[in-house]
């Protein structure tokens, strides 16, 4: 087990009607709020009205940044920064899924920074003195509600890049499973894949002796395997939605990474290149690429860990590591497909004509991945196999 620091100060308010405490939580940090959200869903489910009513009743000044899109754009971030500066905003409240939360973090980082918001994803600036933020989550997927990371897209350069800082960890996050009742089958499936993919990124990573972390990771995978299909069948099944929602936060709050050298994150890197150009739903892209990545990096050295997943999570009974690993990877692919996710890029209407560019951009800062190091050629090979 490697040395680590673990610090997740986010206050989680979990359960039905917990949004009622939002204004109280905001007041501990600020009084002038930027309210960020996406499309119409937060209005359709009544969440927007509830939050606005509370802000007004508590005399909290607020301005709004609506219309944040999936794969959130740096242009939205710049709009938010402008609004914050013009209105002396001292707190950001994000209501939505990962895209809204990620955009809000990028805004929070840039408000007190003189340069451009895109400097952070491009590793040209370090986050210092950001605005505090809170979230009201509406999708089980991202994990962004309990960590300091964000992924932002630059539509001009067709780049999608990550940024992060412990200073961007939300002060609080409201997790009410009933807000996820109206998430459709496609996005419920994509969210479930996203949670599992976050676990994979830290589970298939170098480092030994992390038994407690790995068994916890396996617990979260089992939760997704149990409740993903139930949530698709019965969208208002509270137990299923609640387990997925809490699993999503625990999957990416650093817990399963403790004691590891670093996560792998090659699959996310590759998927980001695809969805930067084609605006594919992140979870759908991961459903295509993660099994292909697994097969690509499978060798004598990596087989034991894939076999461990196969036996502990998918109940594969096969003594040979290599064979067990193959069965485990097939089980992952079959499960994603059973949720209705696409199996190939072609199935998602994505052609192969930008693969070289994607490979180059994925490795813009050098090789990616830690479980097995990958260069631009590897990325192209993976994309071709995913076609």
DSSP structure class, residue 281: -
Is residue 350 close enough to count as binding a second copy by CB under 8 A?
no
Residue 125 vs 217, nearer CB to a second copy:
217
Question: Among residues 176, 172, 182, 195, which one has the least CA distance to residue 235?
Answer: 182
Is residue 135 close enough to count as binding a second copy by CB under 8 A?
no
Residue 58 vs 237, nearer CB to a second copy:
237
Is residue 24 close enough to count as binding a second copy by CB under 8 A?
no
Is residue 5 close enough to count as binding a second copy by CB under 8 A?
yes
Write the CB contacts of 166 (distance below 8 Å, at least 6 apart in sequence): 7, 148
Residue 41 vs 213, nearer CB to a second copy:
213
Which residue in the set 54, 258, 295, 337 belongs to the binding site for a second copy (CB under 8 A)? 258
Is residue 208 close enough to count as binding a second copy by CB under 8 A?
yes
Write the CB contacts of 344 (distance below 8 Å, at least 6 apart in sequence): 288, 386, 387
User: Do residues 370 and 205 make contact, with C-beta atoms less than 8 angstroms apart?
Assistant: yes
Which residue in the set 50, 87, 165, 219 belongs to the binding site for a second copy (CB under 8 A)? 219
Is residue 236 close enough to count as binding a second copy by CB under 8 A?
no
Residue 214 vs 378, nearer CB to a second copy:
214
* Three-state SS sequence of 231-265: HHHCCCCHHHHHHHHHHHHHHCCCHHHCCCCCCCC
Question: Among residues 50, 64, 30, 6, which one has the least CA distance to residue 171?
Answer: 30
Which residue in the set 12, 93, 324, 358 belongs to the binding site for a second copy (CB under 8 A)? 12
Which residue in the set 102, 218, 264, 326 belongs to the binding site for a second copy (CB under 8 A)? 218
Write the CB contacts of 174 (distance below 8 Å, at least 6 apart in sequence): 13, 18, 19, 21, 22, 134, 135, 136, 137
Residue 109 vs 174, nearer CB to a second copy:
174
Is residue 385 close enough to count as binding a second copy by CB under 8 A?
no
Write the CB contacts of 185 (distance below 8 Å, at least 6 apart in sequence): 232, 235, 340
Residue 14 vs 61, nearer CB to a second copy:
14
Using CB under 8 A as the binding criterion, the count of chain residues that bind a second copy stands at 43
Is residue 66 close enough to count as binding a second copy by CB under 8 A?
no
Rounded CA-CA distance 382/387 in Å is 9
Which residue in the set 182, 184, 185, 215 belongs to the binding site for a second copy (CB under 8 A)? 215
User: Do residues 340 and 288 make contact, with C-beta atoms less than 8 angstroms apart?
Assistant: no
Residue 60 vs 199, nearer CB to a second copy:
199
Phi, psi (rounded to 5 degrees) for 165: -165, 145
Residue 218 vs 271, nearer CB to a second copy:
218
Which residue in the set 232, 247, 280, 324 belongs to the binding site for a second copy (CB under 8 A)? 247
Run of H or E residues at 183: none
Stretch binding a second copy (CB under 8 A), from 133-141, 205-213, 265-273, 375-383: 205-213
Is residue 243 close enough to count as binding a second copy by CB under 8 A?
yes
Q: How many CB atoms lie within 10 A of CB 57?
A: 9
Is residue 250 close enough to count as binding a second copy by CB under 8 A?
yes
User: Do residues 275 and 360 make contact, with C-beta atoms less than 8 angstroms apart?
Assistant: no
Binding site for a second copy (CB under 8 A): 1-18, 177, 208-213, 215-216, 218-220, 222-223, 226-227, 238-239, 242-243, 246-247, 250, 258-259
């Amino acid at each position: 087990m490697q040395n680590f620091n673990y610090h997740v100060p986010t206050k989680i308010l979990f359960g039905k009607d917990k949004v009622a405490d939002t204004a109280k939580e905001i007041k501990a940090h600020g009084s002038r709020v930027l309210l960020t959200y996406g499309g119409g869903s937060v209005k359709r489910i009544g969440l927007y009205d509830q939050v606005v009513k509370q802000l007004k009743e508590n005399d909290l000044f607020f301005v709004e940044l609506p219309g944040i899109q999936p794969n959130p754009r740096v242009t939205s971030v710049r709009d938010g920064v402008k609004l914050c500066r013009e209105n002396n905003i001292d707190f950001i409240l994000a209501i939505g899924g990962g895209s809204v939360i990620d955009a809000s973090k990028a805004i929070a980082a840039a408000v007190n920074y003189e340069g451009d918001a895109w400097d952070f994803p491009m590793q040209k600036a370090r986050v210092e003195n950001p605005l505090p933020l809170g979230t009201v989550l509406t999708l089980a997927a991202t994990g962004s509600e309990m960590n300091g990371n964000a992924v932002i897209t630059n539509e001009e350069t067709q780049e999608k890049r990550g940024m992060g800082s412990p200073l961007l960890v939300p002060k609080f996050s409201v997790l009410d499973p009933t807000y996820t009742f109206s998430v459709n089958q496609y996005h419920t499936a994509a969210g479930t894949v996203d949670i599992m993919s976050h676990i994979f990124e830290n589970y298939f990573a170098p480092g030994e002796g992390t038994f407690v972390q790995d068994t916890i990771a396996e617990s979260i995978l089992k939760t997704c395997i149990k409740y993903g299909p139930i949530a698709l069948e019965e969208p208002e099944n509270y137990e299923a939605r609640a387990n997925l929602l809490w699993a999503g936060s625990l999957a990416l709050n650093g817990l399963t990474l403790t004691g590891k050298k670093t996560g792998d994150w090659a699959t996310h890197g590759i998927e980001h290149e695809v969805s930067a150009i084609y605006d594919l739903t992140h979870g759908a892209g991961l459903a295509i690429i993660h099994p292909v990545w697994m097969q690509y990096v499978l060798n004598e050295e990596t087989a034991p860990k894939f076999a461990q997943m196969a036996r502990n999570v998918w109940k594969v009974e096969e003594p040979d590591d290599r064979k067990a690993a193959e069965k485990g990877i097939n089980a992952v692919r079959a499960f994603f497909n059973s949720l209705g996710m696409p199996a190939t890029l072609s199935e998602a209407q994505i052609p192969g004509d930008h693969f070289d560019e994607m490979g180059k951009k994925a490795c813009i800062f050098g090789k990616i991945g830690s479980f097995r190091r990958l260069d631009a050629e590897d990325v192209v090979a993976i994309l071709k196999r995913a076609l």
